[in-house]
Structure 1
Amino acid sequence: MELNINPKFVWVKGAFLLFFGLFPFFIYFLGDPLIYLKYSIKSHDMIKATYFKYFTVGLLLWVLIQILRKRIRISSNRINWIIMAAILFLGLAVTSTVFSVDPKMSVNGYTHRNEGLLAFIGYIGVFLFAAFMLVEEKHQRLMLLICTWSSVIVSVYGILQHFRVDFYQNYGIKDNLERAYAFFSNPNFFSTYLILHIILAMALYLTDKRTYSLWSYSIIICLQVTALIYTYTRSGLLALGFSIVLLSLWIYARQRSLWLRWGILVCLIIAIITALTIVDGTQKGLFMRATGTMNELKHISEGEGGKAGSSRAYIWKKSLDIIPQYLWLGSGPDTFALVFPDIPSEKQQYLYDENIIVDKAHNELLQLLVTLGLPAVLAYIALVSGVLIRSWRELRRRTGSQAVMSVCLMVVICAYLVQAMFNISVVTVAPYFWMLLGLCYARTRTS
């Protein structure tokens, strides 16, 4: 199965690029008045989720119109296993919704999360659009440019926020929080956004030979890394370190000519992390997070492993206990809060609040396993691994900047998966992952 799409549609490509450039700025002061009045807590995430649904509906209507006009044709002359995996994943999400413990919730998603069936439809739609519409190198590079320059404003705002300069405060966040969250209502979400965009900026830094561009991208990456540090998110720093190691190994093995340029950038990043850690001192910041990690290792050694990872270990253990009950179809998209064991004494012990609602597994695969079931997880793994494997195989056909761009897109996908082992998928950031996954696949179709 393959899609044959008219290569024109310039305006819709432009709208797609513009949407991802503006997406971080869809916060409450830009929101629809009806949306603004609906939520007493003016969450940036709710507004973004609502606009993403609008975008999804518009995209689907456009595709339907083009199919009826025969400008998009579905051919079955050969089997495309990656597209089949994407469609199968979406089909299983639909099936899980039908048999959900709460079908209505599964369609729209849990309150304040909004990652129900409509979000999954949007994710697959974004993946397919990027894969089949952004096939030209100039469009792919333009997407990276738009996202990177857009992230500059977001990063600067996050840095200012750390110093208590917050012009459009999200009232769902504590006033005294020093961890930057920018326009994402949670430092962890902001961290994930930054990791993706740091690697995109690295791709531009490594492929642009103009001197002023090198300086520009160096400054951008420094701002992004500074904002990342101020989120004080360990999974984000882990993903950054993982990405630097992967890129270093590949550049040393295949692109030795970039080694000096890359080495300078890595030294800059290390210098920023070191300097900000020293400035923060021992009572806060990265040093405090490192101390927290040591305490968690102590809990594990004392047989209290449930408190590890900010008590994520407890959530993972309880999640594993309920998997057999929902193994094949899951409990339904975004219904984790309804099926997670509600034991007040345990929540008080591990989460320090017996009334807290655990609505995510804090591990993306575990979340999908509980809510969508094992077949959907296997389809998801087949889709992502299929894109990565095909990209790696096609890499030998590329040289120079094209090879660097392909590798960076592969690394950004891997980085997202690394942080997803400890974080949750949210509608404010996940669309970027699915768009980049589509771009990565698009490059294999044009190599």
Structure 2
Amino acid sequence: MINLKLKANTASFSERVTDIYVFVMLFAFPLFTGFEGYSEITLSKYIFFVSASALWLVLLFAAALKKKMSFNLKKLDLVEVLILLFTASCCVSAVFSSFRSSVLLGEGRFDGLVTILLCAGIFFGVSRFGRVKNSYIYAAALAVSINCIVAVFQILGYNPLQLFPGSYDFYDAGREFSSIFLGTIGNADLFSAYLCLILPLICAFYISAEKRPLILLAPAFLCSLCLFKSGVSGGILALSATVLLAAPFIITNGERLRRALEVALLILSSVILAISVKTAETADAVTVTFSFSRACIIVLILIFCAAAARFALAKNDFSRKALRLFFLTASGTLFFAGLAAAYFWKGDKGSVYELSQLMHGNFDERFGSSRILIWRKTLELVPEKLLFGGGPGTLALRLDVDFSRFVEETGKTLSSSVDNAHNEYLGILVNTGLVSLAAYLAAQAVSLVRAVKCAARSEFCCCFACALLCYWIQAFFGLGLFLVSPLMWLCWGLLVSSFRREKSHLSENESVLV
């Protein structure tokens, strides 16, 4: 009896400590900036991430030793097997790397083997001991709300939390320093990646939850506003693609359709605010102006259509098959309409113009903030070490791409060196090789296929799958750094935990029926 009691307490301890860790990562980690603001935000967040994750994993390991738990490959989920293969191939890459002194921490921004192993540990620990709950969504929503409020004040010319050093502010980007910084994440691309993870999480939960969580509409509005106001094209594209891909599978009845229309109204309202309100710094003040453009008219028409549909369908219900057919058709139509609009685009600047030029076969290495150049240079390195790459976090040692620009306004020359592939998948390929990339992509595919099967039954499968899908799409243009990626791995672990719970629930129902 004593042994049984000890085992029960140890098991509950693992779940409790994992519960605390999930809250810490979803709420505290995104908001923690250290004590030096943006000047030391990368190091500060890394210390937080490593300390919190290592302590949690040590506690889990101690609990496992106390229970005398053994590692059994046969009990692993297929996604877990693929992630294990990914992690093992990264370790092989590190062992055979020509830059062994650099593979642990990485020569980029702490993207070495230590980060990879900790992220894998997060995935396995959360998938095994995590128990998905509504409060996780609310913790993430509260953190992102605070983050977005900070970003809004920065756009208005303020310096909340004194994140910018000295007298600098948001509008000194491109004049005093190269990158744009927003919120408590830092780099605008990473801020966009964070929003791409949390915004779909909140919206999908609002649509699929048993009871309508109206309070989540506020953080969803803030997220959407900041995403569109940040102007990060990769994030906006990822959100748009996620809507088209996910709608046929999460909108399965009349109630979900009505909630989806409410979310659409919210996002469209944030879009019209983002594109119509212009801010600019003049002298020592920031001016706010309102500009009603053709794009605003289009968005207003969409808002009217969504509102009309919401009230017209107030009490209607539809079969899952009919809704899926409708949204598959609508998504396909909108996708090809978008491609056609981009192909015939008449503008001469911006992301849509660049896409149009690429569709016409006009390649310019400056497109995508010079991503075309960075990708080409990175791809040239891949054949050198195809299977296992150059080693975790070693691209900075192999890539020779520098940028500089003279700023007439300040008389300064801004310079930067590229230490990242600006594409997470390409980064995996060049750093840890084809084997790791294949395992990673296979794990993604298996996860999404399973999520589609249980999206109608489980709100947690639905919301975590949407969050991951949006993040994985923006990852094609993203940096993939630890400032956001651990949250992706945590959500992935919670998704697999949801699969396990759903499978157990179905087995119990089958037993009752028998």
Place the TM-score, normalised by the shorter chain, in its bin.
0.7 to 0.9
Are the counterparts in 1 of residues 225 and 273 from structure 2 also a CA contact under 8 Å? no
In structure 1, the residue matched to 2:99 is 102
Cα 1:176–1:266 shift into 2, 3 Å: same
Question: Which consecutive unaligned segments of at least 5 residues does structure 1 have?
Answer: 30-35
The CA deviation at 1:14 is: 3.5
Q: Report the Cα distance in structure 2 between the residues aligned to 1:71 and 1:144, rounded to whole angstroms.
A: 33
- Alignment partner of 1:293 is 2:286: no
Q: Report the Cα distance in structure 2 between the residues aligned to 1:258 and 1:81, rounded to whole angstroms.
A: 30
In structure 2, the residue matched to 1:198 is 199
Question: Which consecutive unaligned segments of at least 5 residues does structure 2 have?
Answer: 1-7, 174-179, 279-289, 297-346, 406-412, 503-514
Q: Report the Cα distance in structure 1 between the residues aligned to 2:142 and 2:420, rounded to whole angstroms.
A: 31
- Alignment partner of 1:161 is 2:154: yes
- Alignment partner of 1:125 is 2:121: yes
1:406 is paired with a residue of what secondary structure?
A: helix
- Alignment partner of 1:217 is 2:204: no
2:67 is paired with a residue of what secondary structure?
A: coil
1:151 is paired with a residue of what secondary structure?
A: helix
Are the counterparts in 2 of residues 238 and 419 from structure 1 also a CA contact under 8 Å? yes
2:71 is paired with a residue of what secondary structure?
A: strand
Question: Between Structure 1 and Structure 2, whose CA radius of gyration is higher?
Answer: 2
One-letter code of the match for 1:245? L
One-letter code of the match for 1:90? T
- CA offset digits 1:330-373 (Å, max 9, x no partner): 1111111111145x6xx569xxx996311111111111100001
One-letter code of the match for 2:120? I
Cα 1:209–1:388 shift into 2, 3 Å: closer
- Alignment partner of 1:379 is 2:439: yes
Taking the TM superposition and a 5 Å limit, the aligned residue runs for 1:37-436 are 42-70=39-67, 72-78=69-75, 80-111=77-108, 113-135=109-131, 139-167=132-160, 168-171=162-165, 176-177=171-172, 181-208=182-209, 213-214=213-214, 216-252=215-251, 254-280=252-278, 291-297=349-355, 300=358, 303-342=362-401, 356-395=416-455, 399=457, 402=458, 404-436=459-491
Are the counterparts in 1 of residues 170 and 182 from structure 2 also a CA contact under 8 Å? no
The CA deviation at 1:209 is: 6.0
The CA deviation at 1:263 is: 0.7
In structure 2, the residue matched to 1:33 is none
In structure 1, the residue matched to 2:496 is 441
1:356 is paired with a residue of what secondary structure?
A: strand
In structure 2, the residue matched to 1:32 is none
Figure out how many residues of one structure are paired with residues of the other and give that number: 415
One-letter code of the match for 2:365? G
Q: Report the Cα distance in structure 2 between the residues aligned to 1:12 and 1:251, rounded to whole angstroms.
A: 32
Q: Report the Cα distance in structure 1 between the residues aligned to 2:200 and 2:388, rounded to whole angstroms.
A: 35
Q: Report the Cα distance in structure 1 between the residues aligned to 2:415 and 2:271, rounded to whole angstroms.
A: 37
One-letter code of the match for 1:320? L
Q: Report the Cα distance in structure 1 between the residues aligned to 2:422 and 2:49, rounded to whole angstroms.
A: 22
In structure 2, the residue matched to 1:26 is 32
Q: Report the Cα distance in structure 2 between the residues aligned to 1:17 and 1:71, rounded to whole angstroms.
A: 25
Structure 1 moving runs of 4+ over 6 Å: 281-284
Are the counterparts in 2 of residues 203 and 408 from structure 1 also a CA contact under 8 Å? yes
What RMSD in Å do the two structures reach over aligned CA positions?
Answer: 3.1
The CA deviation at 1:71 is: 5.4
Are the counterparts in 2 of residues 161 and 180 from structure 1 also a CA contact under 8 Å? no
Are the counterparts in 2 of residues 92 and 329 from structure 1 also a CA contact under 8 Å? yes
TM-score, normalising length from structure 2? 0.74
The CA deviation at 1:93 is: 1.3
What percent of counterpart residues are identical? 22
Cα 1:356–1:91 shift into 2, 3 Å: same
Are the counterparts in 2 of residues 181 and 189 from structure 1 also a CA contact under 8 Å? no
TM-score, normalising length from structure 1? 0.84
The CA deviation at 1:268 is: 2.1
Are the counterparts in 2 of residues 134 and 140 from structure 1 also a CA contact under 8 Å? no
Taking the TM superposition and a 5 Å limit, the aligned residue runs for 1:8-19 are 8-19=13-24
- CA offset digits 1:80-112 (Å, max 9, x no partner): 43222222211111121122232222101225x
1:362 is paired with a residue of what secondary structure?
A: coil
